[in-house]
Amino acid sequence: MAPGLSASPPVVLLLLSLLGLAAAGKLLVVPVDGSHWLSMRELLDMLQQKGHEVVVVAPEVTLHIKPAKNLVMKMYPVPFTQEDLNRDLQGSVKDVFEEGSFLERVIRLHQGQKKTSAMFLATCTHLIYNRELMSYLEETKFDALLTDPFLPCGQIVAEHLSLPSVYFLQQMPCGLEYQATQCPSPPSYVPRAFTDLTDHMTFLQRVKNMIYHIPNFFLCDVIYQPYAELASEFLKREVTVPDLLRQASIWLMKLDFVLQFPKPLMPNMVLISGVNCAYKRLNQAIFGLQWAPQSLFQASRLLV
């Protein structure tokens, strides 16, 4: 061995013991409240077990995101109360499941979305313009940002901090994930919401699917156009929501073709179906998804 390259056994053991720490990273998490958080929490627990440092940024008023011993939580104030949040979200859920004609359901969704969108937009505004919190995030050297893109506040933070972003989601309203990634999603093949159609449609069913697709253009504007304006103002350049979405490094998709019809995906879209199921035996008994917990483990390794 060349001079200067030898090392005593204690030094070698010390260096080997540090290899595990070298693989760990520092992850910033900007979650979406409600059921979106419940499955994300499972992923965060697993990442912490692998040695990653996880910092969660969340508003002080939430449904399910609460301080926990094993999570570093950075909370920020918002301009509404817990009662306001519960009332608006319960009304939105009721509107989704209430019966009625297609036009009635669209109108109800439009009105409900205006209320809840204003509340979530205020939450995002109070996050990105919280100088003390944003200064902390800027000074802390994170390796990546994990977020649910259903509400694009995490993407704005990722752009501001110049962090690679990982998306953890079921699906986006109006198929925005396909628009952002340029995945084909033709109405002649991919059924739209409320149609009760499959991927095998007659000509008249395809016409119906196309008609149902039209309201997406203005329903999604109600939700996402204010975020585009907020992002453009904060980042000091003109951006759209698809511009923000297409910056993702990895899309962790909580779906699989076992339960949904096959459709085109991009190489950075990883299917992790089964993550919403709490127990492995339940997965196996009901769906036969013996590989589901392992697929989640493999997906989480992509964050290393």
2-25 residue pLDDT tens:
444 444 445 444 444 444 444 578
Q: Is the pLDDT of residue 263 over 60?
A: yes
Confidence of residue 136 (pLDDT cuts 50, 70, 90): very high
Distance between CA 303 and CA 282 in Å, rounded? 27
Domain range for residue 147? 24-301
Q: Which of 38-52, 105-119, 236-250, 277-291 shows the highest mean pLDDT?
A: 236-250
Residues contacting 39, CB < 8 A, separation 6+: 168, 254, 275, 276
pLDDT band (50, 70, 90) for residue 243? very high
Q: Is residue 82 part of a domain?
A: yes
Q: How far apart, in Å, are the Cα atoms of 218 and each of 106, 174, 175, 240, 247?
A: 10, 10, 13, 15, 24
In a domain, 97, yes or no: yes
Largest CA distance in the chain: 83
CA–CA separation, 128 and 103 (whole Å): 36
- How many residues belong to the chain? 304
- The reply to whether 194 falls in a domain is yes
Compute the distance between CA of residue 234 and CA of residue 223 in angstroms, rounded to an integer. 18
Total count of domains within the chain: 1
**pTM for this model (two decimals):** 0.76
Return the pLDDT at 96: 61
In a domain, 15, yes or no: no
Q: How confident is the model at residue 149 (pLDDT cuts 50, 70, 90)?
A: very high
| pLDDT confidence tier of residue 246, bands split at 50, 70 and 90 | very high
Supply the pLDDT for residue 90.
67
Of 92 and 269, more confident: 269
Mean per-residue pLDDT, 138-152 = 94
* Helical ranges in the chain per DSSP H: 9-17, 19-23, 35-49, 82-97, 102-128, 131-139, 153-161, 176-181, 203-213, 216-235, 241-245, 280-286, 292-301
**181-196 mean pLDDT:** 81
pLDDT recorded at residue 18: 45
State the pLDDT at residue 287. 33
What's the pLDDT score for residue 4? Answer: 43
Q: For residue 258, what is the domain's CATH number?
A: 3.40.50.2000
Residue 97: pLDDT band by 50, 70, 90 thresholds? low
**pLDDT bucket at 166, cuts 50 / 70 / 90:** very high
Contacts of 55 (CB under 8 A, 6+ apart): 26, 27, 28, 29, 72, 74, 140, 142
Rounded mean pLDDT of the chain? 78
Query: For a pLDDT cut of 70, what percent of the chain falls above it?
Result: 75
Least confident of 3-12, 27-36, 258-267: 3-12
